[in-house]
Amino acid sequence: FASYSADEYGEASDAIRLFDFHADFANPLASTFIERSESPLPVAAFDPTSPPDRTDIAQPAPGERLDANSDRLNFRLAYRNFGSSESLVVNQTVRTSTVDPYRAGVRVYELKRTGDAFVVAEQSTIGDNSSSRWIGSVAQDNQGNLAVGYNFVTETKKPSILYSGKLAGEPAGIFRAEETLIGGTGVQKAFGWRWGDYAGLTVDPVDDCTFWQTGQYYTQASEDFSDFTWLTRIGSFKFTECTATPRSVITGHVTNASSGQPVENVKVTAGQYSRTSTASGNYGNLVVLPGSYTLTASARGFLPQTVTVSPTNGQTLTQNFALQPIPVFENPVTRVTGESCGANGAPDPGETVIVNISLQNTGSLPTQNLLATLQPSGGVTNPGGSQFYGPMSVNGPLVTRPFSFTVATGVTCGVPITLTLQLQEGLTNVGTIVITLPTGRPKVAFQQNFDRIQQGFLPVRWMRSATNINGLPDGPRNWRVSAARSQSGSKAVFSPDLNQVGRSEMLTPVFAVDTPNAKLSFRNWYEFETTFLRNRLYDGSVLDIKIGNAPWQDIIVAGGVFEAGAYDGLLDACCQNPLAGRPGWSGRSGINQTSEFITTAVRLPQTAAGQQVQLRWQVGTDVGGFREGQYIDDLLVTDGTTCSCTQ
């Protein structure tokens, strides 16, 4: 990611800042967004300011003034790896005049890395004091030649789309003469000063030489027809010196080796390149650089197949695959049906149990007589005999068989054990299924599902209060049990999102926490006022905790850690929300266009161990609009694990 700093905005110097974003999808809390060690990169002085509001760039009459969009880097930060080096190219609109009238130019950067750090290889401004150039886009072809496209206008020349560039080997700061993609013959008289947000410049993947540029323009005819008849131009150009990148094409079909029928959704990979087969089994065209590749076709329900291919430049190589179907067993269903002591529905250390394991064949080949053998590993000892599941058709019903074993006495209560089933079909090894089972039962410290509570009230020993800053009655704002929405049963607890400045709070009774492993979970439905893009969070809610005699703190400030359903961002300070500036829930719960119940789970602060604890939810609203509010259901606090077997 890139941004800039400028001394005109009170920052230390003019510079480009670079950030690395690491998205950890397996453990989202481990994701990082960190400024690179060489950042900020000092650059030649520039001025990103423009006139107040959006009335910046003059057109010929009767056109309105146009927004320079100089407060941000423009599309896009483009990355290329040339093998021996890597490049980032980007641009921004800067001021090229020191006095009125305002003039804008396009500042172009290339940042190059040959070792660990990026350095500034190009920093040029295309512009002058008599015209304006703005909203540009930059890209490089396969040889590192740099092109830039942008808008152009003066008080006498109507808005047009131009482009320029330089070869990779040409001196820094020297760009070739401008060329015209389209000369506009009309002006913009409406839209509130916005102009073609934004432009685009990309490289054609076929030859990796041709640049495709898009941008806004008017013709006289479109201007005359309507104030709103703007047009988009799509055009291409390239450096005559550019040589097309060598290319090879790998194509073919994938079929079922048993039936001969095409197989859909097969992933075919060649190094970093990949394609997926269609319903007809076709996976082409896989466009690659000439060379030698290990080509692998893989799909769920089939054994993968790998071949080596060496396509040459200009060749279209056909490589078909016939994949061997296999049965697949996923998502087994387990249930404890027998226990030797302290029956609690869970295996305990030292206990002999019987667990029913239900399997379904969701692969591409039926079984004739599937045999499953429980392995003595992962905390499992003394496993009983193997079990025949018999013939299992594809997508047929679940088949259930019992397995007996003893949990190892050395397993700690609460630590899961691992059941490994070895599957065999005749002489064929079908693979293994790994099942994780928790030992013991979570100890419940506090819970509430609100279903037995009269509507309009809260459970016994719960507390609530509400405040409207403007003095209006607070009754409608209060938290209360409602049947309007619920996750389980018929009721949940609810607080509305009103169009009045105010706050409502709901407090649980005090409960004891014994261990540092306590967790809170609840089902969370909310819809609070935000902007359309949800980039500003006007109304919202927060969760606080009180540990012993300590003051109330936000759950995160106190040391809690969200595992799911975390806050959405900072609540906006624009409009008198009493919770302004705090992280909170806002917008819509879930990932869909309509709100849905999600699970919010949070590890309580370890400092809560051995203390009396109380939880508080607060909803804050501002002077703007309103939405439905927040519902909470199936609240549960667990505090470690208990095992009932004493053997």
Coil vs helix vs strand at 357: strand
For residue 191, what pLDDT is reported? 82
Q: How far is CA 427 from the centre of its chain?
A: 45
Q: Which two tokens stand for residue 483?
A: 């049947």
For residue 470, what pLDDT is reported? 67
Amino acid of residue 106? V
Say how many CA atoms lie within 13 Å of 346 toward its Cβ: 20
For residue 369, what pLDDT is reported? 93
Residue 595 burial (CB < 10 Å; 0-12/13-18/19+)?
Answer: buried
Q: Which two tokens stand for residue 347?
A: 């295996």
Distances, alpha carbon 50 to alpha carbons 8, 53, 65, 99, 384, in Å: 11, 9, 12, 11, 79
Regarding pTM above 0.85, the answer is no
DSSP secondary-structure letter at 171? Answer: P
CA distance between the termini of the chain: 58
Coil vs helix vs strand at 617: strand
Low-confidence ranges of the chain (pLDDT < 70): 470-475, 646-647
Q: Which two tokens stand for residue 130?
A: 């008599």
For residue 244, what pLDDT is reported? 93
Non-local CB neighbours of 552 within 8 Å, separated by 6+ positions: 544, 545, 546, 616
For residue 624, what pLDDT is reported? 84
